[in-house]
Amino acid sequence: MPRSVSARPTLPDQDVRLSVDTIVFALEGEQLRVLLVKRPVEPFAGREAIPGGFVESNESLDAAAARILDAETGLRDVYLEQLYTFGAPYIALVRPPAPTPRDGRWVPMGSLGPLAFDHARILEFALQRLRYKLEYSPVGFRLLPQAFTLRGVQNAYETILGRPLDKRNFRRKLLSLKVLKPLARSAREGPHRPARLYRFEEDKWEGLREKGNVFVF
């Protein structure tokens, strides 16, 4: 049973307490990483877990997620989105370079060890949800720097999906959406020649959503 909702004995001055867990994703090279913290107390003392904590009285879930993430890791001003409505897990997306957390560490999704509670299941659900949202929301761009190359966009999508994408087809579909603004700057990527930088224009993406268009690759 998910840890997100936990009940204590029913007493006159006690009630159900809701907790918030936040799955924090970041890209580093060709790895999708997640932020984990080590539990200092039982149950599962010493085991890594998703950052989380209890919601305070008269506090919204969004405010609680931001407060707890800051308190446990020191991360602020990141994109937050509720993962699903049973309990209160959230997804947070961090642009590179991923900051060093005050507590916890970034772990590649492919190198996870045993986790506390049911957090392995929650992480798997979060990854599947992230992959699904690539087709109809700009979550992929929220894991990129403000200025990026087309190669960088494709690398982000391939890393999240866990599979290669055809370069020509991907770029054709991406550019056809007309949601990228070319910048008067370029960046060198490894041994390749300098590539043009782009910026994502979210207002144009919202216009596409209203028309029912999605980015299917």
Residue range(s) occupied by CATH 1.10.10.10 in the chain:
139-210
d(C-alpha 67, C-alpha 55), whole Å = 9
Residue range(s) occupied by CATH 3.90.79.10 in the chain:
5-127
> What residues contact residue 80 under an 8 Å CB cut-off, 6+ apart?
22, 62, 65, 66, 69, 90, 91, 92
Helix, strand or coil for residue 93? strand
Closest CA to 147 of 174, 94, 191, 186: 186
- Sign of the Cα torsion 186, 147, 74, 26 reads negative
| Contact call for residues 35 and 102 (beta carbons, < 8 A) | no
23 pLDDT more than 70 = yes
Query: Which amino acid is present at 57?
Result: S
159 pLDDT more than 50 = yes
| Contact call for residues 89 and 5 (beta carbons, < 8 A) | no
What are the tens digits of pLDDT across the range 28-80?
988 999 999 998 888 888 899 999 988 898 889 899 999 999 999 999 989 99
Q: What Å distances lie between residue 207 and 8, 25, 210, 212, CA to CA?
A: 47, 27, 5, 9
Q: What is the pTM of this model?
A: 0.79
- Domain 139-210 maps to which CATH number in 3.90.1150.10, 2.40.50.140, 1.10.1030.10, 1.10.10.10? 1.10.10.10
What are the tens digits of pLDDT across the range 99-141?
888 889 999 999 999 999 889 989 999 999 999 999 888 899 9
Partner residues linked to 31 by β-bridges: 28
Closest CA to 138 of 71, 38, 29, 215: 215
d(C-alpha 164, C-alpha 83), whole Å = 26
Q: Per CATH, which fold does 5-127 belong to?
A: Nucleoside Triphosphate Pyrophosphohydrolase (3.90.79)
